Amino acid sequence: MNLLKRLFNRKITTTLTVTSSNGFHLRPIAKFVNEVKKFDATITLKAKNKEVLATQVPKILSLSLEKGDSFELICKGKEAKEANEKLTKLFQELMRDDKEIERIEQEQITYSKIDMKGETIAKGVAIGRQVNYTKQKIHSSNKKALSLKDALNKTAQELESLYQQNRSKSEAEIFLAQKELLQSDAFQLHFETIEEEIAKLKDTKFENKIPDYLDLKKRIESHMGIETTFKLPKKVDTILFANELLPSEVEEISKISAIKGVVLFSGSTTSHASILLRSFNIPSIVVTQKEFEPLEKETILDANAGVVISEPNEKDLTQAKERQKAFKKEQEQSFQKRFETTKTKSGKEVKLLANITNLDSAKEAKELGADGVGLLRTEFLFTHNKPSIEEQTQTYQAIFELFNEVTVRTLDIGGDKSLPYIEIPKEENPFLGLRGIRFSLQEQTLFKEQLLAIFKAVDSMSSNKKIIKIMFPMVSTPQEFIDAKNIAQTIAKENNIDIKGIQFGIMLEVPSVIFGLKEFNKLVDFYSIGSNDLTQYLFAIERTHPTLSVDPISPLLLVALEQISKNVEKPISICGELAGLEVATQKLLNMNYTTLSVSAKLIPNLKEKIRKI
């Protein structure tokens, strides 16, 4: 009995630091809260002399945790230890993956006069009549009014449906975040006093999340028979001027072809409305000018330059139309030519592969013109439950059938990534411990099953002309590669599968490999540079560190890349963030890196940029 009492009274505290430039904001908070609910424990976050429940999105938001802020993760109860370990790893992973939205570089252009200047949300040039966005609430007689409880459930179902429909897109996280926010006490118990929660966010870094509260309220009210309506011209080209837009309103606006652009007077380029405006490719900017009365006259919105010109003269109109036409042509060419071979002006051919995380992202990469898959992250198959060999085989086969070339990275666990069904010993510095191929060589059951599933998928392919590569992560010595390949060959032999056509290589992300290239050249079939981890280990700076960072195109990193390029004797590619940075493209091509693996969405435009080099 005393043991049971001690178990339930167990308390474990860990201090965590926010390392994302975006702070601990709504989308990662929603994922964190979703995981918290799985544990039989009371979990709280303590910061700034305030302790809040970790199951409540609004309460965590109210802490206003920005980059560099620390908080205590406090877990009490039966599963306190397990919760603390897994939530700590999840938080670190969320911080690592939450990339800062890059500021769009604006073009320098001269107009006769500029009435407003702002920050670009989504590029494009629009011409239309200024219209002020106004809305009003009405009681609809065309819709059955639901009770608050039913309206909450209906809204949750609606958001879940939107999340599932958009899972392969970045904006899917918005709907997941709103669903978690919806299921908090703020909505479930205090719908009428939601303004109190909004007030807590004012004058904080997360003030731009207020529209998510308002958006949820709008969705709920619509199911209760209260509709929010707005009147807009549907035939006249329009530039919409709005104090703010809610995410659901951006969806509605995207369906109105007459709306050519949007000017916002509040919010930021990182708000959920802004993310959706970019997703729908609606030219838009956000300006700080608060007092402006739309003239309902012809206007130029040049979002590429971040400017608004009211009542333009003929010279300005002509210039804007030419810029509009040129931008549209560039975008169309990029998309239309996405399946074409990519060559520089000098005739150097460049292969653009995609980094993918699941079957949905593989399909998206195919549609966006990827020449193949340079990095198939297989962790998605293992995240929640241990997959069967058959489940793995079916997924690999479906992806292999889409492309002529696929590089599969074997399970990369350790560091800030864990599995719920495998106990990894706690390490003082997990990034320097049991990670990647080291984990697979120690926990061989998962490794052998994954290799067998890949082999079976290859064996059942409809074409034997496809190039399938298996890549081992975090290899630091030749012996690790030898041991891993020996296991692969043994598995193939035991199951009577011919793997002569499969290539074996490594992620080059540990600096020791640079000094052992002479030996590795005799062993591997290919290399793929993982620029993120290589940078981390070169500079001995953890990627998630709250105050330290490294220039992504540091001269020292470029020297290392050049040394690698000069000494490898096998095909080599670059994946990681560096491969997707336009500012680095020219430098990489000059070092003879002609195979780049990037986020699928970057491929059409990056191909077109390379064609102009």
> Is residue 272 among the annotated active site residues?
yes
Burial class for 475, CB neighbours closer than 10 Å (0-12, 13-18, 19+): buried
Helix (H) or strand (E) holding 493: helix 478-494
β-pair type (298-302, 125-132): antiparallel
- Sheet bearing 42-47, strands edge to edge: 11-17, 70-76, 42-47, 50-53
Task: State the burial class of residue 325 (Cβ atoms within 10 Å of its Cβ: 0-12, 13-18, 19+).
Answer: exposed
- 129: which strand partners? 238, 298
C-alpha to C-alpha distance for 12 and 43, rounded to whole angstroms: 10
Q: Nearest CA to 267 among 194, 212, 186? A: 212
Instruction: Choose, from 139, 190, 272, 545, the residue flagged as catalytic.
Output: 272
Q: What Rg do the C-alpha atoms of the chain give, in angstroms?
A: 26
Tally: H helices and E strands in the chain: 23, 22
Q: Are 472 and 506 in contact (CB under 8 A)?
A: yes
To the query of whether residue 575 is one of the catalytic residues in this protein, the response is yes
Catalytic residue among 25, 75, 223, 575: 575
The pair of three-digit structure tokens given for residue 524, joined into one six-digit string: 């591997």
Nearest Cα to Cα of residue 301 among 237, 236, 232: 237
Instruction: For residue 22, give both structure tokens.
Output: 């975006």
From residue 152, alpha-carbon distances to 51, 155, 178, 370 in Å are 27, 5, 12, 41
Q: Where do the DSSP E strands lie in 5-69?
A: 11-17, 42-47, 50-53
- Which amino acids are annotated catalytic? 272, 575
